[in-house]
Amino acid sequence: MTSVPSKLYSDDVSLVVVLLDTNPFFWTASSSLPFSQFLSHVMAFVNSILLLNQLNQVVVIASGYNTCDYIYDSSSDASQLGLENGKMPSLYSNLLQKLEDFMIKDEKLGKEQSQRAIKSSLLSGSMSMALCYIQRVFRSGPFHPQPRILCLQGSPDGPEQYVAVMNAIFSAQRSMVPIDSCYVGAHNSAFLQQASYITGGVYVKPQHLDGLFQYLTTVFATDLHSRSFIQLPRPAGVDFRASCFCHKTTIDMGYICSVCLSIFCNHHKKCSTCGSVFGQAQSDTSSASDLKRKAPET
Amino acid sequence: MANNIAEKRRQQEEDDDEEDGDLDGWGERNYADERSWEALQEDESGLLRPLDNKAMYHAQYRRRLRSLSTASNSQRIQKGLIRFLYIVLDLSRAASVMDFRPSRMAVVAKNVEAFIREFFDQNPLSQIALVIIKDGVAYSLTDLGGSPESHVKALMAKLECSGDSSLQNALELVHEYLDQIPSYGNREVLILYSALTTCDPGDIMETIQKCKKSKMRCSVIGLSAEMFICKHLCQETGGLYSVALDESHFKELIMEHAPPPPAIAEFAIANLIKMGFPQRAAEGSISICSCHKECKVGEGYICPRCKARVCELPTECRICGLTLVSSPHLARSYHHLFPITPFDEVTPSRQIEPHRRSQKTCFGCQQGLVNPGNKPSLHVACPKCKQYFCLDCDIYIHESLHNCPGCESLRAS
Amino acid sequence: MPQVRIIAKNFMDMVASLPAMKLDSLYQNAYICEAILRSLPPLAKKYVVQILFFDGPVSGKLLEQWVLDDGVTKHRVAIDRLIQLRIFIEVTDKKRESSYKLNQTFQANLQKHLTNGGVLPRETMAATVKLPSSEDLDTYALEQWECFLLLLISSGQAEKPTSLSSSMMKIFQRGLLSQRDRDAPRLTEGGFQFLLMDTNAQLWYIIREYISNSEERGTDPADLISFLLELSFHVTGEAYNINTLTEIQRNTIKDLAELGLVKLQQGRKESWFIPTKLATNLSVSLTDSSSRKQGYVVVETNFRLYAYSTSKLHCEILRLFSKIEYQLPNLIVGAITKESLYSAFENGITSDQIISFLQQNAHPRVAERLPSVPENVTDQIRLWEADLNRVEITPAHLYDEFPSKDTFEAACDYAREWNGLLWEDSKKMRVVVKAEIHMNMREFLRGQK
């Protein structure tokens, strides 16, 4: 995979879009790091970003189980208003209030849903929203902060989101927006490893979760300008092999349908995704209606 | 046609900003060529106002999008994803004419370079080759290959024009090469024609029939005027014929060929193509790579069949001929197979729907959708998830992101 | 108390040159810590934030490991800066290896800030009179600042007098204006350069002068510095009660109002001040980073200048080096001519200053183009400057009609000995020598006969 060409940044003003995983299925099961502690690490981290430069901006988007939404934007007027009884500064009260509202909404939306095997969060949705916001920043004029995305994720990857996540990753690569990932779940996330590798970001799975804040400030608070001369964790070999559609095993060599690009490990007579019969010219309507947005696992 | 010209001129203003500063002696043209006086309109009270470029740009964009998608959605035509494209450049005398600054040849070369990069970005499994027409003879500049750098380097090294142009010789040469490629591939030719004449040794109509029989899709972009023979060629083979009005229009026309064209049913033969997914070589392993024939350490990929080392993907293993790709390459083409539906414009009557009245900001970028004075500005909505988006997000989502944030933020049951 | 000497060019250097105890007392204010942190080079900021929650000292070797080879010089610069500002305290152990520890107060303050968020020393109050909108506030600030600048350069264009004492103005004008006995004060070279600087740099210059004279007026410079830095963290457009200020701070606020940093308003019972953007942007410009202001000048290839501005100050500045042709309600039209440039050069402005002024203030529509100022204009400005240096004038005398070749040769040698030979023509036997040795030459030639 060719590496991302690096833009030359002249100063350290950054815009960090934080994608916060609030998936209740993950957090209730997470024993090593309770959600409240996680939040306190994240808030201190957000504060440190805003501290480093007056013009820095932080936007927080929550990815829930049933929906995604914007939680906090440091540049909006509401966040700069005065104190509430002088006790807690507005950063905290606004953010926490909106987060609470979001989680209630998320739960309400989930009442009718069916059970799924893998309880993943809607990473593709929040990534897409983050990229739209970043495009808006690019349009805002010649002086804008350098944007990057930070995914704080714990939930496992949802294979049904594969195509959407890859689309988001390629779009980020084209706009030269690095995607950093800090994964606090059990096993490595292939989506986030690929995302960070392709876009030129950093992927870290912290070993000691009670020191999360230290990982965040040491690695993820580094602005893009400084990354050229600071040691950062390097990607340790991302596995880009594909898995076949029939058995979901990783394969070295396989067969690709030339019409719909599905991957098979053995020679078949007919493609199971698009229905094309191999070796013959196709007719349109019957084959195309079988096209579904299936996702190969990697 | 006249309306198109006027519209194109207005759109040129947006495109002007994209011109680089490398048109040296023509730096003043970049400056003075804004023609902002043409973009004025009289409003109700007789005052002059600049044209609302944004809404017009958006309207044109949506027309284009609609024409592309209705064709594919209603008839569900599949797209040819594995393309073998020959780019034919006319470097005859006519290419040195300076009506495109600094010369037709320079403009063509610059845009072909940008096109090659865009092409490989959108079609990672495809291959390109370059053919040049000079002095009445066509010869091949580069062979079919998947690496943009080698094509661009070869092109920039050989930019001289002379002699006559010969359409038939070019078609014969390309036909010879394209006959050899496997049947699952989409055979395409893109001819960038500057001349107004063609000097052919034989009957060009026969050649055209030959191309048609071999299922080669020939498209032409003319730089001077419309020619019957080019139009006939494109009609017979099912390609696109267009004539460029100026530099920015040319760029637009050539970029239209970057996304995969709808594959014509009789042409596409589905095949299972054997491909390899190489793993990365171990850190610190020393081997001789098969592409450069140099000794390299670490970083590289090992072909799963013959264990030869290659430097980058996608490529064809030089030793055993296996196509080597990685899963992101395949993923890059998925959005062509699963396009998102175009958004609908939100008319004023829809805006007073009660449950929608509360949405005052674009769902994607949080930009306000209300103009000062509480008048709603132009915005669109996704037909599936019913969320509102602003015009800029609409363009970004359909051209680059290919995901609707609203649909992705809904847990599909 | 040792005097604070202003030798440094930069405000942060001034802070760094404060004595150790003063600096430590400064750090007790959390907002000062924040402002100073923001003024550090990026690598230094990273180091501070990274070891913020460490308990003991961190070895220098460990810090070096965090940087790649490319960044070794940056690393040294950062460490030096941190030590200079007494944020890092160097600890050498028995093995002669150095490790660094954070200043206790600094560390404690920042830790609190990160975990609890910042709390301002004063709260906003509900004003009884309607507060000005942000546009009004910006116009007010701009007006005040420009009025002040116009007064500073003693231009007749200033509309209203200032309440700053004339001695204060004299202090500011020191270095910028020179006054001969009866003539009107003229701008010095430094004055011209001052005008061509951007607003933040000018603001800091004035503030530095203000602070450096604070002892003469009986106020402690450290207090002033801390008050100013604190001011930059207030919210633009919100009202703060004047009663929360000390006596000294109240006086300072009045002066700052003249400069346009705050707006004073009075209600029925209370009076308050409203910080403007100029005040809250103070901490942004602590270092020498370029300003992010929008430009207003368009220079065309035919040497015409269009400035989309209503300000008299801009007009004055442009008048320094160009010929202003018309002034429309929102547009100033001028042309860069040879004469206007010559007068600028005579005043000590260099072509580089003019070109960088034009580039930095380029209107957004042309700012993205490369080059933002057309090359033929910049080349011509430089050529005209070089023109002035092209001809060197030396007073001299011409000798001709020598009686014989020998006398001619002797005269030439004599002139050469005295280093006064400028030109000779042996065919026509003419010689040009410097005027200084003219008398001696005459003696010599008389002696020859």
Q: Assign residue C41 the CATH number of its domain.
A: 1.10.10
Quick one: pLDDT at residue C120? 65
Quick one: pLDDT at residue B293? 79
Q: Which residues contact B153 (CB under 8 A, 6 or more apart)?
A: none
Cα–Cα distance between B157 and B130 in angstroms, integer?
A: 13
Quick one: pLDDT at residue C304? 93
Residue C13 in this model has a pLDDT that exceeds 50? yes
Give yes or no: residues C81 and C98 share one domain.
yes
Give yes or no: residues C202 and C257 share one domain.
yes
Mean of the per-residue pLDDT values of chain C: 79
* C126 in a structural domain: no
* C254 in a structural domain: yes
Quick one: pLDDT at residue C9? 47
Residue range(s) occupied by CATH 3.40.50.410 in chain B = 77-255
Cα end-to-end span (Å), chain C: 77
Which of A259-268, B41-50, B268-277 is least confident? B41-50
Cα–Cα distance between A264 and B330 in angstroms, integer?
A: 13
Q: What's the pTM value of the predicted model, to 2 decimals?
A: 0.79
| C238 vs B218, residue with greater confidence | B218
| B62 vs B108, residue with greater confidence | B108
CB atoms near residue B61 (< 10 Å) = 15
Q: Which of residues 196-225 of A touch C (CB under 8 A)?
A: 213-214, 217-218, 221-223, 225
Quick one: pLDDT at residue B71? 55
Give the CA distances from residue C99 to residues C56, C89, C387, C402, in Å, rounded to whole numbers and listed in that order.
10, 8, 57, 83
Give yes or no: residues C17 and C155 share one domain.
no
Question: For the segment B289-306, what is each residue's pLDDT rounded down to a tens digit?
Answer: 877 778 877 778 888 888
Alpha-carbon distance A89 to nearest alpha carbon in chain B (angstroms) = 24
Give yes or no: residues C152 and C231 share one domain.
yes
| B259 vs B36, residue with greater confidence | B259
The whole domain housing C233 covers 134-286
Quick one: pLDDT at residue C290? 47
Quick one: pLDDT at residue C3? 24
Q: Tell me the DSSP string of C364-380.
A: HHHHTSSSSS-HHHHHH
Residue C320 in this model has a pLDDT that exceeds 70? yes
**To probe the interface with A, which of C47, C50, C74 has the most A CB atoms within 10 Å?**
C50
From chain A, the residues in CB contact with C50 under 8 A are 214, 217-218
Average pLDDT over residues B384-408: 88
Q: Which amino acid is at C371?
A: P
Quick one: pLDDT at residue C182? 57
Per domain, the residue ranges of chain A are 10-229, 241-290
Residue range(s) occupied by CATH 3.30.40.10 in chain B = 340-408
Question: How much of chain B, in percent, has pLDDT values that exceed 70?
Answer: 77
CA atoms within 13 A on the CB side of C174: 11
Quick one: pLDDT at residue C158? 56
3-state secondary structure of B103: coil
Burial class of residue A88, CB neighbours in 10 A (0-12, 13-18, 19+): middle
Quick one: pLDDT at residue C35? 80
> In the sheet where C262-266 sits, what is the strand order?
C240-241, C271-275, C262-266
Last residue of a domain, one of C64, C90, C116: C116
Q: Which H helix or E strand runs over A264?
A: strand A263-264
3-state secondary structure of C159: coil
Cα–Cα distance between C299 and C308 in angstroms, integer?
A: 11
Number of domains in chain C: 4
Last residue of a domain, one of C83, C116, C149: C116
Average pLDDT over residues C294-310: 89
- Indicate the CATH number for domain B77-255: 3.40.50.410
Question: A51 and C34 in contact by Cβ < 8 A?
Answer: yes
Cβ distance C252 to C224 under 8 Å? yes
Q: Which of residues 365-394 of B touch A (CB under 8 A)?
A: 365-367, 392-393
Residue B1 in this model has a pLDDT that exceeds 50? no
CB atoms near residue C321 (< 10 Å) = 26
| B359 vs A28, residue with greater confidence | A28
Cβ distance A148 to A177 under 8 Å? yes
Which of B67-71, B395-399, C302-306 is least confident? B67-71
Which of the four pLDDT bands, split at 50, 70 and 90, describes residue B352? low
Is the bond leading into B376 cis (omega within 30 degrees of zero)?
A: no
Residue B11 in this model has a pLDDT that exceeds 80? no
Quick one: pLDDT at residue A60? 93
Residue A154 in this model has a pLDDT that exceeds 80? yes
Q: Tokens 């596409």: give the residue.
A: B268
> What ipTM is given for this predicted complex?
0.85
Average pLDDT over residues C345-352: 82
Cβ distance B313 to B325 under 8 Å? yes
Residue A112 in this model has a pLDDT that exceeds 80? no
Does domain A10-229 fall under CATH 3.40.50.410? My reply is yes
Question: For the segment A231-243, what is each residue's pLDDT rounded down to a tens digit?
Answer: 888 776 677 777 7
| B171 vs C203, residue with greater confidence | B171
Residue B229 in this model has a pLDDT that exceeds 80? yes
Q: Which of residues 243-272 of A touch B (CB under 8 A)?
A: 251-261, 263-264, 267-268, 271
Q: Which residues contact C255 (CB under 8 A, 6 or more apart)?
A: C164, C168, C210
Give yes or no: residues C102 and C158 share one domain.
no
Question: A255 and B267 in contact by Cβ < 8 A?
Answer: no
- Indicate the CATH number for domain B340-408: 3.30.40.10
Q: Which of residues 312-331 of B touch A (CB under 8 A)?
A: 312-313, 322, 326-328, 330-331
**To probe the interface with C, which of A6, A58, A229 has the most C CB atoms within 10 Å?**
A229
Quick one: pLDDT at residue C118? 65
Asked if A278 is an interface residue toward chain B (Cβ–Cβ < 8 A), one would say yes
Partners of C67 in beta bridges: A230
* C6 in a structural domain: no
Q: Assign residue C440 the CATH number of its domain.
A: 3.30.70.2610
Mean of the per-residue pLDDT values of chain A: 80
Which of the four pLDDT bands, split at 50, 70 and 90, describes residue C119? low
Give yes or no: residues C272 and C331 share one domain.
no
Cβ distance A203 to A193 under 8 Å? yes
3-state secondary structure of C175: coil
Average pLDDT over residues B56-82: 66
Give yes or no: residues C265 and C367 share one domain.
no
